[in-house]
Amino acid sequence: MIISKKNILIAGGGGFIGGHLADKLLKFNNNLIIADIKPKKNWFQYFGNAKNYVVDLKDYQSALKVTKNVDYVFNMACNMGGMGFIENNKAECMLSVLINTNLLRASVSNKVKKFFFSSSACAYNVSKQNKTFIKGLKEDDAYPADPEDGYGWEKLFSERMCRHFTEDFGLETRVARYHNVYGPFGTFDGGREKAPAALCRKVANSILNKKNFVEIWGDGKQTRSFLYVDDCVEGTLRLFNSNYSQPLNIGSDEQVSINQMIKILEKISGTQVNKKYQLNMPKGVRGRSSNNDRAYKVLKWKYSMGLQEGLEKTYNWIFDQLTNKKKNNIYK
């Protein structure tokens, strides 16, 4: 899975997964160009030995600029967040299609050798996710198309665009469908955080504020599978280096309910909390998990970090951020 001594653009590299990917690629003497719309002070990780640009990649000229003399593009950029964000910002999420469009066009113009697009499990047909515990979603379950409104449609459309840019222009593309990636150095408050980070924060604050309750969106019975970020990066690089050109699941099949996740966090934190259910809040699909048979077959890849171990690392990092014990210095 090693990529070495290449000129690589990470679009959205100031974000969560993009930051971890940059950290990995820099260890192998790659020349990184990192582009993100956020001010640099808000990047989750910042690397002084990369070329760092604050740009809006919905603008084609900006996409042309950052892809110049680049070998590989990893497009991790999009306007996204947890369920609360994507259900209430559908138009904003769909505008991310401009990022992928412009990066693909610019990659063809600048003769980029290979292009990676980070898709999502939200691209899957929602009618297959109505039960609490479901069989893992297989790649073919995206069709007939009925993805989550807004964000899911943008991802599915952008997947197709990658396919057609390969067919029409010869641009080699790879597409990963990520399933609920979590871990340190990510968003844990402010409205864009996903369930693992949100629950880690809520449990930690219940201790710090001496209030033994957490608020849960929905009834707590909705299920997901969650993938630790280091496993996500490894799966991403294996897919990128493979000959497989169709959308591929990068996820875990360890499916748990939100209530079960709370129990894991109670064990990690050494506390017990009362749950206040908020039935009027966004909940998303009832159940979702990843089938990784194809990833194992074509990549020989399988996640290695179990949920409890990954949550412990994530909880401890968030607790330290909240207490300023080890306030994160993003500059590396």
What positions carry a catalytic annotation?
A: 151
Return left, alpha or beta for 257; rule: phi > 0 is left, psi -120 to 50 is alpha, else beta: beta
| Phi and psi angles of residue 218, each rounded to the nearest 5 degrees, phi first | 85, -160
Q: First CA to last CA across the chain, in angstroms?
A: 23
Compute the distance between CA of residue 245 and CA of residue 99 in angstroms, rounded to an integer.
Answer: 20
Compute the distance between CA of residue 293 and CA of residue 139 in angstroms, rounded to an integer.
Answer: 10
Are the beta carbons of 115 and 104 closer than 8 angstroms?
Answer: yes
Are the beta carbons of 119 and 158 closer than 8 angstroms?
Answer: yes
| Phi and psi angles of residue 191, each rounded to the nearest 5 degrees, phi first | 110, -15
Burial readout 268-304 (b: 16 or more C-beta within 10 A, e: otherwise): bbeeebeeeeeeeeebbbbbbbbbbebbeeebebebe
How many residues are given for the chain? Answer: 332
Residue whose entry in the numeric block shows the structure tokens 């009834």: 219
Burial readout 226-263 (b: 16 or more C-beta within 10 A, e: otherwise): bbbbbbbbbbbbbbbebebeebbbbbbbbbbbbeebbe
* Torsion sign, CA atoms 133, 135, 139, 144: negative
Provide CB contacts within 8 A for 218, sequence distance 6+.
Answer: 258, 277, 278, 279, 281, 283
